[in-house]
Amino acid sequence: MELNELKGNPGSKHRKMRVGRGIGSGKGKTSGRGGKGQTARTGVRINGFEGGQTPIHRRLPKRGFNNHFRKEYEVVNLSSLQKAIDAGTLDAKGTVDLETLKKAGLVRKAAKVVKLLAKGALTTKITLSVNFASEAAKAAVEKSGGKVILPEAAAA
């Protein structure tokens, strides 16, 4: 076999359709683009237009409700606290507050309100200053020898 004998597989090569080459070609005059206007031009399209058919965004029903006044809490579980303490990213000696949790990567940087939940186990003595905590989480922290400081308790 030599280079001049090489051939492509049958059907692997197609000639590009040449549009606008007369009505006898089958793709003459409007070149398969229909009439005039926006749809006949390149680089433009009517977003969501489905050729006169009702567009999908109008066929589908509206569902649900988004409450713009919802309160968003950043959730911290006991298991994630324990993992961070074991990994050394969280120091359990001082009071752990929002800034400490942000530095440890347990909450997002934009977080403003933190809620402590009792998922997992905590074995280290720790003092936490959070906005909210579940009763089970408070009990688990106090069982391990630590304490939870809430804003209501700090103000009183």
Token pair for 122? 């905590």
Q: Kindly state whether residue 100 falls inside one of the protein's structural domains.
A: yes
Which pLDDT does position 9 carry in this prediction? 94
Domain membership flag for residue 85 = yes
Assigned domain for 86 exists:
yes
Structure tokens that stand for 69 in this block: 């006044």
Q: Which two tokens stand for residue 45?
A: 């399209």
Q: Angle of helix 78-87 relative to helix 135-143, nearest 10 degrees? A: 40
Query: What pLDDT shows up at residue 154?
Result: 57
Q: What is the pLDDT of residue 44?
A: 76
- How far, in Å, CA of 114 to CA of 80, rounded? 14
Residue 83 within any structural domain of the chain: yes
DSSP string, 19-62: -SS-GGGSS-TTTTS-SSSGGGSSS---TT-BTTBPPHHHHSPP
Element containing residue 129 per DSSP (H, E): strand 127-129
C-beta atoms surrounding 85 within 10 Å: 18
pLDDT (average), residues 1-22: 92
27-81, pLDDT tens digit by residue?
999 999 988 888 888 887 788 888 889 999 999 999 999 999 999 899 999 999 9
The pLDDT assigned to 155 comes to 55
Say which CATH number the domain at 139 has: 3.100.10.10
Is the predicted pLDDT of residue 119 greater than 80, yes or no? yes
On whether residue 33 sits in a domain, the answer given is no
CA 149, 152, 154, 156 dihedral sign is negative
Task: For 92-116, write each residue's pLDDT tens digit.
Answer: 888 999 999 999 999 999 989 999 9
- Structural domain includes residue 89: yes
- The burial class, CB within 10 Å (0-12 / 13-18 / 19+), for 111 is middle
Rounded mean pLDDT, 5-26: 92
Number of domains in the chain: 1
Is residue 156 predicted with pLDDT exceeding 60? no
pLDDT for 38: 83
Q: What is the pTM of this model?
A: 0.56
Residue 68 lies in a domain: no
**Is residue 123 included in any domain, yes or no?**
yes
User: What is the domain range of residue 84?
Assistant: 74-155
Is residue 153 pLDDT above 80, yes or no? no
